[in-house]
Amino acid sequence: MSFVAKAALAAVLALGAGAGGVAYMNSDAKSDVATVATLPLSIKSTNGTHTFEVESAKTQDEQARGLMFRTDLKPDGGMLFWPYPPTGGAPVAASFWMKNTPSSLDILYVRADGTIARIAENTVPFSETPIPSGEPVGAVLELMGGRAAELGIAEGDLVTWDKAK
């Protein structure tokens, strides 16, 4: 990471987000900061229900930025890209990458019915290799790398959240 990006990241982390949101930086590494609302999300797995408080990336800008430049992920945190695509409409095949993302992530592709279609585990930080969903999805959930396996979360598990938020 360049000196400029490190300085910008330090500024973002120092500013924080205030109540009800999380601070993050835009995808072109400028030092402007915005906040994203958080919402509760649960995943029903064969070994129980796992709860998270995730950031909700709903707009095109929020989804383009995602978790780029972030190093502050928590085990019970993450980011939900919903609706996907951000313009609404029918589910589509998704493809994510790890450009400018210093932390390994688990990327969970979620069908319109809430079931997990695919889990890309422990993605490679900074990689620009596309990570496809394999089928049309209505949402994408990013968790800290390795978290899905640690909790026993698997393809077919049910993801729920308040879609009114």
Write out pLDDT tens, residues 10-61.
333 333 333 333 333 333 443 334 567 899 999 999 999 999 999 999 999 9
The model carries a pTM of 0.80
Confidence of residue 4 (pLDDT cuts 50, 70, 90): very low
- The total domain count for the chain is 1
Indicate whether 16 belongs to any domain: no
User: Domain range for residue 151?
Assistant: 36-161
Indicate whether 135 belongs to any domain: yes
Kindly report, residue by residue over 135-150, the tens digit of the pLDDT.
999 999 999 999 999 9
Indicate whether 128 belongs to any domain: yes
Indicate whether 141 belongs to any domain: yes
Indicate whether 94 belongs to any domain: yes
Residue 7's pLDDT is: 30
Task: Work out the number of other CB atoms within 10 angstroms of the CB of residue 43.
Answer: 25
Indicate whether 145 belongs to any domain: yes
Indicate whether 11 belongs to any domain: no
**3-class SS at 35?**
strand
Residue 35's pLDDT is: 66
CATH code at 95?
2.60.120.1140
Residue 154's pLDDT is: 98
- Cα–chain-centroid distance for residue 83? 12
Confidence of residue 87 (pLDDT cuts 50, 70, 90): confident
E-assigned strand segments in the chain: 21-25, 33-45, 48-57, 79-81, 92-96, 105-110, 116-120, 131-137, 139-144, 158-161
Indicate whether 25 belongs to any domain: no
Average per-residue pLDDT for the chain: 83
d(CA 146, CA 155): 14
